[in-house]
Amino acid sequence: MPLVVLCGRPGSGKSRRAAELREALGGPERQTHVVTEAEGGRSALRAEVERLLNRRDVVIVDAGNEVRSIRYELYCAARQAGTARCLLHCAGGPGRPDEPPFEAPDPANRWDRPLFTVGGEEPLPLAAIRAALFESRPPPPHRATRTQPLQSGDFLHRLDRVTQEVLAAVLAAQSSGAQPGQPVRLPGVAEELVLARPVSMAELSRLRRQFISYTKMQPTDENLPQLAGMFLQYLSRSIQ
């Protein structure tokens, strides 16, 4: 089932574009499914996408997907399912003071491509989207793991160590009296984690296992400098 991931700020027209895509990409030979943000947050959305993914129909993710770690997870889900995907960036939107920071997609990142950007009343590039979804061959699951076993082993060792360091920093901050709303920072990492509530070791360990299970699908040196920041973003989005 090809996957279309929408991203953009609130008010940028994502739901309207999702409806247009559903109408344009459906047909007698395939169904289209629109997955929206709902109760349960990021993990529930990801689980629903994984449940629907197959090689025939189309899944459209109508959500903000503001940070690259979310888009990376969805990229990994499509890669694991062996199906094509693309990213549609809905540019614009009025923005709100309380909205989370938006990390614009970058086609230099493999999880942000093929990338299509539309704004305002600009028509969707439907021919190019159809080509990306139905005429391209999706990469096989775990190709990097199979073809670069030594690099993958190094990557997984670093992934384990970095995520342990992040958890230790979060627990140390809580033990030292950090209050909800205070940021947790790591040396040399631009991203930070602002805890909305206290988090137990059990919950942090569960989130760490989930992050590792997705991230290890693509063990490449390209992600090594970003691992701590990606994990902090993952925690920030998962702990509500």
Specify the pLDDT at position 226: 77
C-alpha closest to that of 4 among 138, 129, 136, 141: 129
Specify the pLDDT at position 139: 65
CA–CA dist 141, 78 (Å, integer) = 9
C-alpha closest to that of 89 among 70, 106, 110, 74: 106
Specify the pLDDT at position 195: 79
Sheet holding 32-36, edge to edge: 32-36, 58-62, 3-8, 85-91, 115-119
Per-residue pLDDT of the chain (240 residues; tens, 9 = 90+): 699 999 998 889 999 999 999 999 988 888 899 998 765 677 788 888 888 887 778 999 998 888 888 888 899 888 888 889 999 999 988 767 777 788 899 998 888 999 999 998 899 999 999 999 998 877 665 443 333 443 456 777 888 888 999 999 888 888 888 777 888 888 778 788 887 788 888 888 888 888 887 776 655 555 566 788 888 888 877 776
Residue 6 lies in a domain: yes
Q: What are phi and psi of 196, to 5 degrees?
A: -85, -15
Residue 143 lies in a domain: no
Specify the pLDDT at position 6: 95
Global pTM value: 0.61
Q: Are residues 125 and 228 in the same domain?
A: no
Q: Are residues 126 and 161 in the same domain?
A: no
CA–CA dist 61, 173 (Å, integer) = 35
Q: Are residues 55 and 174 in the same domain?
A: no
Specify the pLDDT at position 150: 36
199, HSE (Cβ side, Cα atoms, 13 Å): 26
3-state secondary structure 150-199: HHHHHHHHHHHHHHHHHHHHHHHHHHCCCCCCCEECCCCCCCCEECCCCC
| Structural domain total, the chain | 2
Q: Are residues 129 and 162 in the same domain?
A: no
Specify the pLDDT at position 145: 31
- Indicate the residue type of 197: R
Q: Are residues 119 and 163 in the same domain?
A: no
Q: Could you tell me if 68 and 237 are in contact, meaning their C-beta atoms sit under 8 angstroms apart? A: no
Number of neighbouring beta carbons within 10 Å of residue 138: 16
Its domain, for residue 166, covers 153-239
CATH of the domain at 72: 3.40.50.300
Q: Are residues 115 and 217 in the same domain?
A: no
End-of-domain residue from the set 83, 109, 135: 135
Residue 148 lies in a domain: no
Hey, what's the torsion of the CAs at 27, 31, 37, 42, to 10 degrees? -130
What are the CA-CA distances from residue 5 to residues 84, 178, 204, 228 (Å)? 11, 36, 27, 24
Q: Are residues 199 and 82 in the same domain?
A: no
C-alpha closest to that of 235 among 186, 188, 175, 177: 186
